[in-house]
A and B are shown apart, each in its own frame.
Chain A
Amino acid sequence: MNLFQQLRLGFRSLMLHKLRSALAVLGILIGVTAVIWLVAMGEGVSYQAQQQIKDLGATSIIVRSIKPAEESSRDVGSRFGISYGLLRDDYERILTNVPTVTRAVPMREISREVRHREHFIDGQVIGCTPDYFGMNRLKIARGRPISQVDMQGYSNVVVLAWEAAAKLFPIEDPLGRAVQLGTEFYVVVGIAAERTAAAAIGGSLDARQYDRDVYIPLSTFRARIGDRVFTVRAGATQLETVELTQITAVVEDMGEVDATADIIRALLQRYHKNVDYAVVVPKELLEQAETMRAMFNVLLLLIAGISLLVGGIGIMNIMLATVTERTREIGIRRALGATKGEIVQQFLWETVVLSGTGGLLGVLVGFLCGPTVNGIRQLVSTFLPEVWTALPPNIRNLEPRLAPWSIIAAFGISVGVGIIFGIYPARRAANMDPIEALRHE
Chain B
Amino acid sequence: MNNLQPVSQRQSVASIVGVSKVYTLGGHQVKALNNVSVEFQQGDFVAIMGSSGSGKSTLLNVLGCLDRPTSGQYFLAGQDVAAMDDETLSRVRGRYLGFIFQSYNLIQQLSVVENIEVPLSYQRPPLPGGRERCLKLAELVGLSGRLGHRPTELSGGQQQRVAIARALVNNPHVILADEPTGNLDTATSHDIMNLLDALNRAGRTIVMVTHENDIAERARRIIRLRDGRIESVSETRPLLPQVGIG
Interface of A with B (CB < 8 Å)?
1, 5, 12-13, 15-16, 328-329, 331-342, 434-435, 438
Find chain A residues with CB under 8 A from B95 CB. Answer: 337
Contact of A339 among B91, B107, B166 (CB under 8 A): B91
B202 interfacial contact with A, CB 8 Å: no
Find chain A residues with CB under 8 A from B87 CB. Answer: 339-341
Distance from B29 Cβ to chain A, minimum over Cβ atoms (Å):
19
Distance from A431 Cβ to chain B, minimum over Cβ atoms (Å):
10
Find chain B residues with CB under 8 A from A15 CB. Answer: 109
Q: Is the CB of A337 within 8 A of B90?
A: yes
Contact of B99 among A1, A335, A339, A341 (CB under 8 A): A335
With contact pairs A342-B122, A434-B66, A435-B67 given, residues A334 and B90 touching in the complex (Cβ less than 8 Å): yes
Of the candidates A15, A16, A434, A435, the one having the most CB atoms from chain B within 10 angstroms of its own CB is A434
As a 0/1 sequence over residues 158 to 184 of chain B, the CB contacts with chain A under 8 angstroms (1 = contact) are 000000001000100000000000000
Contact of A336 among B61, B67, B166 (CB under 8 A): B166
B186 interfacial contact with A, CB 8 Å: no
Find chain A residues with CB under 8 A from B107 CB. Answer: 329, 332-333
**Chain A residue at minimum C-beta to C-beta distance from B106:** A332
Interface of B with A (CB < 8 Å)?
61, 64, 66-67, 86-87, 90-91, 93-95, 99, 101, 105-110, 118-119, 121-123, 166, 170
Q: Is the CB of A336 within 8 A of B109?
A: no
Find chain B residues with CB under 8 A from A331 CB. Answer: 105
Distance from B17 Cβ to chain A, minimum over Cβ atoms (Å):
22
Cα distance, A328 to B106, chains bound together (Å): 9
Find chain B residues with CB under 8 A from A12 CB. Answer: 109-110
**Chain B residue at minimum C-beta to C-beta distance from A332:** B105
Q: Is the CB of A438 within 8 A of B105?
A: yes
**Chain A residue at minimum C-beta to C-beta distance from B170:** A337
Q: Is the CB of B101 within 8 A of A438?
A: yes
With contact pairs A434-B66, A435-B61, A438-B101 given, residues A337 and B109 touching in the complex (Cβ less than 8 Å): no
- A-side interface mostly: helix
With contact pairs A338-B90, A339-B87, A339-B90 given, residues A333 and B118 touching in the complex (Cβ less than 8 Å): yes
Q: Is the CB of A337 within 8 A of B86?
A: no
Cα distance, A341 to B122, chains bound together (Å): 11
Cα distance, A435 to B21, chains bound together (Å): 15
Q: Is the CB of A335 within 8 A of B93?
A: yes
Contact of B122 among A13, A16, A328, A336 (CB under 8 A): A336
Cα distance, A435 to B93, chains bound together (Å): 13
Find chain A residues with CB under 8 A from B106 CB. Answer: 332
Find chain B residues with CB under 8 A from A329 CB. Answer: 107-108
Distance from B226 Cβ to chain A, minimum over Cβ atoms (Å):
22
Distance from A131 Cβ to chain B, minimum over Cβ atoms (Å):
77
Find chain A residues with CB under 8 A from B101 CB. Answer: 438
Contact of A337 among B67, B93, B105, B110 (CB under 8 A): B93
Cα distance, A438 to B121, chains bound together (Å): 19
Q: Is the CB of A337 within 8 A of B94?
A: yes
Find chain A residues with CB under 8 A from B121 CB. Answer: 1, 5
Cα distance, A337 to B86, chains bound together (Å): 11
